[in-house]
Structures are given as C-alpha cells and as structure tokens.
C-alpha cells in the first residue's frame, strides 16, 4: 500500500518542509508511480527495485528536464522509500544507492546595483500599494530572506529600533536578520498603513494584501513581475534573485563566506559557495583590464 499522505504528513511535521516542497514531492511521486503503471508493468511497492528508479530519472534527463528538477525528484524518491522502509512496508529500501547527477549548478541570477536602484525607483509614490511594495522588497534585499520567510513574518518578529528581524526558515530554524537603513525607513512608513488594513481581521502578518490578508508567495511573484515590467528589467528575475543579490553584494563588499552563510540560514557553507563563482562577464572584464595584450592599442 502506498501511504503517500502519511509520508507527506510526517516530513511536514518532522522536517518542517515548506508547502511548496510538499506539493512538489506529491507531484514527483505521483509521476513516478504513473510511469511504473504505464511502462514498467505496474509492480507492487515491495517489487520496486533500484533499476526502476534509475530508469525513471534517466527518462527525465533524456526529455530535457532541468538538472535541479531531476535532483529534487531523486530526493523525493529517497525520502519516500526510506519512510516506507522505516514503517515496515517494504523489506529493503531500493533507493539507498540512488544518486542523481544534476551536473554543474548554474550561476544564480544577480541584479546589479543599478538594477536594484531601477527597481525601487518605480515604487515611489504614496498609497498603500506603493508603500507596501517598497517595504516588502527593501526587506527582501536587506535581509536576504526567502519569499516564504517574508510572507510568514509576524509583527512580533520585527524590532525596527534595533534593526533586526527574526526569520523562520527551512526546518523551522530561526535566525536573526539585519535591517538596513532603507529597509527600516520603508517599514516605518508602511507599518501604520498596515495597521489600518489589519484591524478588520486582526492579522499579525507583516505583509498584507489590499484586503488585509497575508500576502502569498504567488502574490509576491506577481507583484515583482509587474514592477519589473515598469522598470524595464527582465521578467525572469524572481524574488529569490533578491536573495542571490543580497549574498553576492555582501561578498563583493568584503563579507566573509561564513558570515554570509549565517545570514542566509544555510546549513552548510557548501551551499553558500555558489556565490563565490565568477560569471563569464566578470572574467572578461578582469581579462580586458589586466592582460597586456587585451587592452586596445592607443593611437600613436
């Protein structure tokens, strides 16, 4: 028997995974079992072997799925079969030796300082929406928070005077984040308006929609896309790009890798190291600036 709901409940409560990850895992596992039924003779749970898992992932790679997506599906399979083994539903775990080869991880999308300025310039103006959007995106860029952390932020998590915010990250792990000057000013302007919106529903979330309810992850992405269009910036930029930019700009400014790891809430410094990679554009700039045969020859 496939106890998918039981598995998802256990990892939600025990590991504190996000609703987005739960939804993705459900989809990943459903697609795996659908593929078994359609193409592999529909084996029972106890009959599933390692080669079934490998064939599933290989097929995804051949169909052009992104390496990160394949890696996530492999993680879902490993977690699910480990759970079923612990529950005694299967005698052995076929996913013990399952590995995914996502390949080299691409460089994250990072906004330049000029792009950051352009983004905030289109949020100038009065009214709840403009003021809230300034506070929201200044907060994301100032703290490096994940969008889910910003959406879950409560009034009691903010200390504007001290310039700190308490974030609840992956696995329900708390960390303190710093609020810079611009973020503090934007929040100071926003919070009185937020209080008016929240009164009807007594909502404790910091970032609210126009009806006084909490903003969702999807709403933040939709708002950002609208602002990117107004600023003539690529709409491929996501709220997570502000987190990438936060980390990259700190490192470029001289911050240490360990300090940035703590600010991002990464469990391992290996995750943070991606921000130390140099883009092709940066390499070309360094080359042109420093190689004696790369610089243009001056007129004689």
Positions annotated as catalytic residues are: 146, 170, 240, 243, 266, 275
CB 110 within 8 A of CB 243: no
User: What is d(CA 205, CA 183) in angstroms, rounded to the nearest whole number?
Assistant: 17
CB neighbours of residue 107 within 10 Å:
15
Q: What residues contact 121, with CB distance under 8 A and at least 6 apart?
A: 231
User: What is d(CA 73, CA 26) in angstroms, rounded to the nearest whole number?
Assistant: 10
Radius of gyration of the chain (CA): 23
Beta bridge partners of 175: 167
Judged by DSSP in three states, 158 sits in strand
User: What is d(CA 263, CA 251) in angstroms, rounded to the nearest whole number?
Assistant: 12
């Amino acid at each position: 028997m496939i106890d998918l709901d039981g598995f998802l409940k256990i990892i939600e409560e025990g590991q504190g995974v996000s609703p987005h990850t739960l939804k993705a895992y459900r989809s990943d596992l459903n697609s795996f079992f659908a593929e078994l039924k359609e193409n592999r003779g529909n084996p029972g749970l106890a009959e599933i072997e390692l080669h079934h898992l490998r064939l599933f992932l290989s097929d995804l790679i051949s169909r052009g799925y992104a390496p990160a997506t394949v890696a996530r599906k492999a993680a879902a399979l490993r977690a699910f079969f480990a759970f079923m083994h612990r529950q005694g539903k299967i005698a052995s775990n076929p996913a013990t030796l399952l590995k995914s080869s996502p390949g080299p991880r691409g460089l994250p999308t990072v906004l330049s300082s000029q792009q950051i300025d352009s983004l905030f310039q289109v949020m100038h103006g009065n009214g709840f929406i403009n003021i809230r959007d300034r506070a929201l995106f200044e907060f994301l860029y100032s703290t490096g928070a994940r969008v889910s952390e910003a959406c879950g932020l409560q009034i009691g998590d903010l200390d504007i005077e001290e310039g700190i915010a308490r974030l609840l990250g992956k696995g329900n792990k708390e960390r303190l984040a710093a609020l810079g000057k611009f973020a503090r000013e934007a929040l100071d302007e926003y919070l009185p308006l937020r209080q008016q919106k929240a009164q009807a529903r007594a909502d404790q979330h910091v970032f609210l929609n126009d009806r006084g309810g909490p903003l969702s992850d999807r709403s933040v992405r939709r708002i950002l896309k609208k602002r990117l269009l107004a600023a003539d910036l690529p709409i491929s930029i996501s709220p997570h790009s502000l987190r990438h930019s936060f980390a990259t700009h700190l490192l470029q400014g001289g911050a240490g890798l360990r300090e940035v790891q703590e600010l991002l809430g990464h469990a391992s410094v290996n995750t943070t190291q991606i921000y130390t990679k140099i883009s092709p554009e940066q390499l070309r700039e360094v080359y042109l600036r420093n190689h004696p045969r790369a610089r243009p020859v001056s007129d004689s």
